[in-house]
Amino acid sequence: MILPETSDTIVAQATPPGAGALAVLRLSGRGAFAAAAGFLRPAPKDPPHGVARLLAVRDGERLVDRAVAVFFRGPASYTGEDTVELTCHGSPYIVRTILNLAVSNGARPAAPGEFTLRAFLNGKLDLAQAEAVGQLIESGTEAAHRAALTQAEGGLSREVRAIKEELVGLLAQLEARLDDSYEEQPALELRAFARAAEAARSKAAALAAGYAAGRGIRDGLKVVISGAPNSGKSSLLNALLGCDRAMVSKQAGTTRDTLEASLEIDGFKVLFTDTAGLSARAGSALEREGMRRARRALEKADTVLLVKDSSSKETPADRGAAREAGRLAPEGARVLRLLSKADLSAKGPLPAGAFRVSARTGEGLARLRTALVAEQKKVFRDGAQAVVTSARHYSALSRAAAELALLPGKLRGKTPPLELAAEHLRGALAALAEVLGETAPEEVLAGVFSNFCVGK
Amino acid sequence: MTAYNYPEIFDVLVVGGGHAGCEAALAAARLGAKTLLLTQDLDTLAQMSCNPSIGGVGKGQLVREIDALGGEMGKIADLSMLSGHMLNTSKGAAVRSPRAQCDKKMYQLAMKRALERQPGLTLVQDEAAEVLEKGGRAAGVGTARHTVYRSKTVVLTAGTFLRGVIHVGLDSFPGGRYNHPPSDLLSKSLAGLGFRLGRLKTGTPMRLHARGIDFSKCDRQAPDAPPAPFSHFTGAITNPQLPCWITRTGAGTAGVISAALHRSPLYSGKIKSTGPRYCPSIEDKVVKFPHHGAHHLFLEPEGFATEEYYVNGLSTSLPEEVQADIVRSVAGLERAEIMRAGYAIEYDYSDPGQLDYTLETRPLPGLYMAGQVNGTTGYEEAAGQGLVAGINAARAAAGLEPLIIRRDEGYLGVMIDDLVSKGIDEPYRIFTSRAEYRLLLRADNADLRLCPRGFELGLLPARLEKNFRAYADAVRTLQAGGKPARLPPGPWTLKKARATAEIEKIYEMYVRRNQKEAEKMKKFEGLRIPPDFSYADARALPNEARHKLELHRPLTLAQAGRLPGVTPADVQLLWVLLEKRRRQRRKP
C-alpha cells in the first residue's frame, strides 16, 4: 500500500495536458494560499472565499500571464483543505512556468489522483464518489465528463441505495420469521416476496448492463472495421475521419497491420481499428500475422463494422469474414453490416439493419456515425441517469443480481429453506454495500423490530 | 463500625448468584481457582425472575454452546424440564433451536446443589457494597456488613439490582426484583471508579392461578415426545412433560389498555429508560401495532408442584386493577386470579463498550462483568457471559492466556463482540439475525465447534475426549462419503454423527462461503489498534466515525469495521493511519 503524505501542499494541472485555450491549475494544502501569494500580484492577503479575481502571475518582475484565481478555505473546498484554483492560458510553456513558481514557493507536484485522495481522506467523498472523481480526471471527452459528473453527484449511489433499501425490507421479513421463537408470524407470502426480489434483481441487472455503454463513454467506443480483402475498409476509415489516415490501393491486402484512429462523434469518443482483410487462403507469413491481429481486434470490439463490397457478388471470403466476426466479437457487441462502394453498384433492396456507404461520395456516412453512438446517447436520454463506468461497480452489481437470481429456488415447496434465501439476500446486500462503501446489518434488525411484533 | 478482613485471599470473587454468577463461580472453581460467590440471598440462586423457560431461537444455540464448554445451564434445564419443544422444525437446521419450560424451584435447587458440591467454591450470603481497588486493579469487595473479601479478580453479575426501581402503575419503589432490595451502594462504587453507567428498563407479566383458567378455551401446545435434551451429556429427559396453552387477546383488550394509558408509567413519561423493542409490553403492542388484531398469549406452568401460570405476552406495568381487567378480556381468562402482578423495572447497567473480549473491564483491570449488568437480557445471555467471565478471571488469576471466542465460532462470540464493539441502546438479546455466519453456528454442531476448547480448558471430563474425537472424525468421514470407524463408548454416537453429516452436506456450499468470509475477517482481527491511538488526530475520518471510534475504542481493525456508523472506507483509512503510525514509530 502506498502511504501518502497529507500534511504538505500539492500542485498540479487539473485539465488534461497538452495545448488548449485554457488550463486549470490547482494548489491544495496548508500552504496553498502562501504559495500562491508568492507569485500572484497584487499578492492576495486574506482573500475572500470562492470569489474569482483576475491577477497577474509574475516570475520576479516578469509578467508570465494574467490568470483567474479562486481561493477556497478548507474545509469548504474540493479537497477539504485550503485550495487555490488558477485558470490561465493553456500554453504548455505558461503552465509549466506557473507549476515551477508554485513549487519554488513551497508546493510539491501532486501524484496522480492525490487531490481526490485528500478529498477522500478529509471525508469529502464516499467510496463511490471517489472513484467517479478519479474517472472525472481521466475523462477526455464531453460525454465521459457527463457520466462521471452524474456519478460524482450520487446518481449511482442513489439508485443502488434504493435497491438496498428494498432488500433490507425483504430480509427483515425473513429474519423476523427465522428469529420467531413463538412462531407467531404469519407464513411468508412467497409469491409476492419472489416478485419483489425479482424486481430488485432486474434493477441491479439493468444498472450492471449499463456498464458496456458506461465504459464506452469513459474509455471510448471500440469500433473494429472488418471484412474480406479489398472490400474497402481502409477507404471507409479515411472517409469517416475525413483525412487519409490509412494507405489504400486497389490491391487486395494493402492493410497488413491493424491501425487505430479516434474520432469524436456528438461528444462521444470512438476508437476505430482498421484491420487486415480476412481471407480463407493462407497467404504469406506477413498476411497470416495481419489476420491474427485482425482477429485479436475483433475479440475486443464493442461494435464491428462488417464491410462487403456491394459492387461484386458475395464471395466465400465475405462469408468467412461474417462468420469470423460473429464468432470472435464479444457477447453484447453489435455487428453492423456495411455495403461499401455504393457509388459503383446498382441500388438494390437493402438487407435489414445494413448500411449502404460510399467512401468516395460520402453517401451513408452521416447515418452510420449516428448509429455508432446511438446506444451511448440512449444512456443520457432521460437526463441524469446512473451509469456504471467502473469495473468494480459492475462486478458488485452483477454479483448482487446473481445472488438474487438464486432466491426463487429457495422460496418453493411446503417448507422453503428461508435461511438459505436469507443467505442470498445477505450476499446481495454485501455486494451493494461495496458500491456504497457502507455496511448496515443493524438496519435489518431495526426493520424487524419496527414491522414485526416478535415475542420474547 | 470496624471492618472485618476475611482471612483468605480468593482467586476469583463472584458477586451475584443469578444465571451469570452461578456459571462464573462453577467454571472458576472447576478450573482450580479458589472461588467465593457472594449473594444477597442464597434462596434466590439461579432464580428465573421472568418466564419459566430456557432456550429459544438463538438462545437455544447459546445453551448448547455453554454446555459444550463445560457450563451447567443445559444440564440443569434438562433436570428440571417440564415442557420441551424444538423450534423452527419447519425451517432449516441452522435456525432449529431447543426451548423448554422448566420447574423454577427444581432449577434453583439443582443449581444450588451443583454449587454446594463444587470443591473450591465458597458460598456466602451478604450484600456487596463496594469494589475495592488497589494499584489500579480490582482487589476484592467490601460488603454491607463491613466484611472485606480480598481477591485477585472480581466477577460482577449484579443483574437488575443496581439502583433498581420497580413500577406498577404510577407507584414506584426501590427493588432489584419484586420483594428484593436493590444494590444502591454498589452502583455508587462503580460510578466512583469511573464507569459509564446507563439506565435500562424491562418488564414481566402477571402470574395466574390455574383454577381461574378455562383451558378448554385455549389451544393445547403439546410438548415434543420425547423432548430433545439441551445438554450433550444428558441421555434422555426423564421428567413427565406438561403442555403449554395458547390463547389470544380479545376484542376488549385494546380498549381497556387505551383507556388506562395515562396511568402507565411508560406512557405518562415516568419511565424514561429504554426497554427491549423485541419484547414489548402489551401496552406497547397495542399502541405500536394497532392493526395487529389479536396478540398471541402463552400460558406456561411455573412448576410441577405449583398452580402458578406465567402469561407470556402480557408483560405490563399498568396498575394492578387494570391488569385484572386486561387479563379478564382474554378468552379463557375471564375468571382469572392474579397471584402476582406484572411490573416494570428500571436499573443501572455498565456500558459494555468498556469491556475487553475477555469481559474484563478496561477502566478497572481485574474486574469482570457478566449478564444484565452489561445491558443484556435473558438467562442464556447471562449464563454465557458468566461462563466466559469466570473462565477468564480464573485463568488470569493463574497467569494463563484468556479464552476469546470469535464470531464465527459461536453465538457467545457474536454476543460478546456485539456488546464490546457496538455498545447497546436497548437491552440486548441474541438473535440468529445478528450472526453473519449463521449457517456455521447451529445447535447441532455446538459440540464440534466448542468441545475441543472445553476439553483443552479442562472443563469437560477428560475420559470423554476419545469418544468426542472419534465422533468428530466420523462426521468428517461420513460427509466425504466414507465409512466411519466404531466409536468408543460415550454420549457421542454414530447415529448422531450420521444426522450431523447429513446437515453438513445440505449446507456444504454455504458453509464454505461463510468460512471463506470468516477467514478474510480473521486477518483484520489480527490488526490490533494500540490503546493509545489518538482519534482526535485522525482528522481525515468523518466526524461520526471518529466519534464512535473514540467512544468505543475498538481493540482491532475488524471490530472498528463492525461499529455502526463506521464504513469500510473509514476502516481503510484507519488502516492507512495505523500503518503510517507503525512506520513512523519504526524509524529511529
Would you tell me how many other CB atoms lie within 10 Å of the CB of residue A347? 8
pLDDT number for residue A139: 45
B388 to chain A nearest CA, in Å?
Answer: 24
A453/A184 Cα distance (integer angstroms): 8
In a shared domain, residues B579 and B509: no
SS3 A284: coil
B554/A74 Cα distance (integer angstroms): 30
Taking the Cβ of residue B275 and every Cβ of chain A, the question of whether any pair is shorter than 8 Å is answered with: no
Q: The CATH number of the domain where B74 resides is what?
A: 3.50.50.60
Taking the Cβ of residue B94 and every Cβ of chain A, the question of whether any pair is shorter than 8 Å is answered with: yes
Evaluate whether residue B380 is within a structural domain.
yes
User: How does pLDDT run across A333-359, given as a tens digit for each residue?
Assistant: 889 999 998 888 877 778 888 899 998
Taking the Cβ of residue B424 and every Cβ of chain A, the question of whether any pair is shorter than 8 Å is answered with: no
Evaluate whether residue B141 is within a structural domain.
yes
**Amino acid letter for position B530:** P
Q: How many residues does chain B have?
A: 588
In a shared domain, residues B505 and B530: no
B435 to chain A nearest CA, in Å?
Answer: 10
Would you tell me how many other CB atoms lie within 10 Å of the CB of residue A401? 22
More confident residue, A242 or B490: B490
Evaluate whether residue B253 is within a structural domain.
yes
B82/B85 Cα distance (integer angstroms): 10
In a shared domain, residues B134 and B19: yes
Give a three-class secondary structure readout of B1-18: CCCEEEEEEEEEEEECCC
Residue where one domain finishes, among candidates B309, B343, B377: B343
In a shared domain, residues B175 and B215: no
In a shared domain, residues B493 and B563: no
Find the angle CA(B6)-CA(B11)-CA(B13) to the nearest 5 degrees: 65
**Range A133-153 burial, b when 16+ CB lie within 10 A, else e:** bbbbeebebebbbbbbebbbe
Interface size A-B, in CB pairs within 8 Å, comes to: 121
pLDDT number for residue A137: 44
Name the closest residue on chain B to residue A80, using Cα atoms: B540
Distances (CA, A) of A306 to A230, A232, B468: 13, 11, 70
In a shared domain, residues B229 and B107: no
In a shared domain, residues B49 and B98: yes
pLDDT number for residue B388: 98
pTM for the predicted model, two decimal places: 0.76
B135 to chain A nearest CA, in Å?
Answer: 40
Q: Which of the residue ranges A286-295, A390-399, B8-17, B576-585 would you say has the lowest mean pLDDT?
A: B576-585
pLDDT range class, residue A384, cuts 50, 70, 90: very low
Distances (CA, A) of A361 to A240, A354, A357, A364, A372: 12, 18, 8, 9, 20
pLDDT number for residue A279: 75
Q: Residue with C-alpha cell 469481559? A: B359
Indicate if the pLDDT at residue B501 is higher than 90.
yes
Indicate if the pLDDT at residue A127 is higher than 60.
no
More confident residue, B543 or B588: B543
Q: Which residues in chain A have Cβ-Cβ distances shorter than 8 Å to B313? A: 182, 455
User: How does pLDDT run across B527-540, given as a tens digit for each residue?
Assistant: 788 888 888 877 66
CB B422 within 8 A of CB B407: no
Evaluate whether residue B453 is within a structural domain.
no
Residue by residue, DSSP assigns A143-186 as HHHHHHHHHHTTHHHHHHHHHHHHHHHHHHHHHHHHT-TT--SP
The CATH class that applies to domain A220-377 reads: alpha beta
Taking the Cβ of residue A456 and every Cβ of chain B, the question of whether any pair is shorter than 8 Å is answered with: yes
Q: Please state the domain extents for chain A.
A: 10-124, 155-213+387-451, 220-377
CB A365 within 8 A of CB A265: no
pLDDT range class, residue A285, cuts 50, 70, 90: confident
State which residues form the domain around B327: 207-343
Q: The CATH number of the domain where B314 resides is what?
A: 2.40.30.260
Q: Which CATH number fits domain A10-124: 3.40.50.1360, 3.40.50.360, 3.30.70.930, 3.30.1360.120?
A: 3.30.1360.120
pLDDT range class, residue A128, cuts 50, 70, 90: low
In a shared domain, residues B484 and B508: yes
Q: Which residues in chain B have Cβ-Cβ distances shorter than 8 Å to A184? A: 296
Q: Which residues in chain A have Cβ-Cβ distances shorter than 8 Å to B315? A: 456
A224/A226 Cα distance (integer angstroms): 6
Name the closest residue on chain B to residue A1, using Cα atoms: B576
Evaluate whether residue B447 is within a structural domain.
no
User: How does pLDDT run across B298-339, given as a tens digit for each residue?
Assistant: 999 999 999 999 999 999 999 999 999 999 999 999 999 999
Evaluate whether residue B212 is within a structural domain.
yes
| Share of chain B residues as helix, strand and coil, in percent rounded to the nearest 5 | 40, 20, 40
Find the angle CA(A209)-CA(A213)-CA(A217) to the nearest 5 degrees: 145
B533 to chain A nearest CA, in Å?
Answer: 18
pLDDT number for residue B586: 59
Indicate if the pLDDT at residue B147 is higher than 50.
yes
Cβ contacts of residue A23 below 8 Å, gap of 6+? A13, A15, A87, A88, A89, A90, A94, A95
Indicate if the pLDDT at residue A143 is higher than 60.
no
Helix (H) or strand (E) holding A131: helix A127-138
Rounded to two decimals, the ipTM of the complex is: 0.88
Indicate if the pLDDT at residue A440 is higher than 60.
no
CB A435 within 8 A of CB A156: yes
Residue by residue, DSSP assigns A328-350 as HSPTT-EEEEEEE-GGGS---PP
pLDDT number for residue A3: 32
In a shared domain, residues B156 and B92: yes
Evaluate whether residue B98 is within a structural domain.
yes
Q: What is the DSSP letter of B290?
A: G
A102 to chain B nearest CA, in Å?
Answer: 25
Domain count, chain B: 4
pLDDT range class, residue B38, cuts 50, 70, 90: very high
pLDDT number for residue A113: 63
CB A10 within 8 A of CB A27: yes
CB A116 within 8 A of CB A63: no
Angle between helices A155-178 and A127-138 (to 10 degrees): 150
In a shared domain, residues B471 and B376: no
Q: Residue with C-alpha cell 453479575? A: B157
pLDDT number for residue A448: 66
pLDDT number for residue A140: 41
Distances (CA, A) of A87 to A20, A56, A65, A84: 12, 11, 10, 10
Q: Which residues in chain A have Cβ-Cβ distances shorter than 8 Å to B434? A: 441, 445
Contact flag A453-B295 (C-beta cutoff 8 Å) = yes
> Given B280, B313, B439, which is nearest A419 (Cβ)?
B439
pLDDT range class, residue B402, cuts 50, 70, 90: very high
Residue where one domain finishes, among candidates B525, B549, B566: B525
Q: Which residues in chain A have Cβ-Cβ distances shorter than 8 Å to B422? A: 442
Query: What CATH topology corresponds to A155-213+387-451?
Result: Four Helix Bundle (Hemerythrin (Met), subunit A) (1.20.120)
Contact flag B543-A123 (C-beta cutoff 8 Å) = yes
Average confidence score pLDDT of chain A: 81
Taking the Cβ of residue B524 and every Cβ of chain A, the question of whether any pair is shorter than 8 Å is answered with: no
Residue where one domain finishes, among candidates B472, B492, B525: B525
Taking the Cβ of residue A438 and every Cβ of chain B, the question of whether any pair is shorter than 8 Å is answered with: yes
For A312-390, where are the alpha helices, taking DSSP H only? Answer: 316-328, 365-372, 374-381
User: How does pLDDT run across B106-141, given as a tens digit for each residue?
Assistant: 999 999 999 999 999 999 999 999 999 999 999 999
More confident residue, B379 or A128: B379
In a shared domain, residues B588 and B489: no
Residue by residue, DSSP assigns B484-551 as PPPPPSSS--HHHHHHHHHHHHHHHHHHHHHHHHHHHHHHHHT-BPPTT--STT-TTS-HHHHHHHHH
Distances (CA, A) of B298 to A203, B142, B430: 43, 43, 21
In sequence order, what are the beta bridge partners of A299? Answer: none
Find the angle CA(B176)-CA(B181)-CA(B183) to the nearest 5 degrees: 70
In a shared domain, residues B521 and B426: no
HSE toward the beta carbon, residue B35, CA cutoff 13 A: 31
Q: Collect contacts of A314-321 with beta carbons under 8 A, ≥24 apart.
A: A315/A228, A316/A280, A317/A228, A317/A229, A317/A277, A317/A278, A317/A279, A317/A280, A318/A227, A318/A228, A318/A231, A320/A228, A320/A278, A320/A279, A320/A280, A321/A226, A321/A227, A321/A228, A321/A231, A321/A277, A321/A278
The pLDDT > 90 percentage for chain B reads: 78
Cβ contacts of residue A335 below 8 Å, gap of 6+? A303, A304, A306, A325, A326, A329
Indicate if the pLDDT at residue B243 is higher than 80.
yes
Indicate if the pLDDT at residue A281 is higher than 80.
no
Evaluate whether residue B448 is within a structural domain.
no
For A2-49, where are the alpha helices, taking DSSP H only? Answer: 32-37
User: How does pLDDT run across B50-86, given as a tens digit for each residue?
Assistant: 999 999 999 999 999 999 999 999 999 999 999 999 9
Q: Which of the residue ranges A409-423, B120-134, B196-210, B557-571 would you say has the lowest mean pLDDT?
A: B557-571
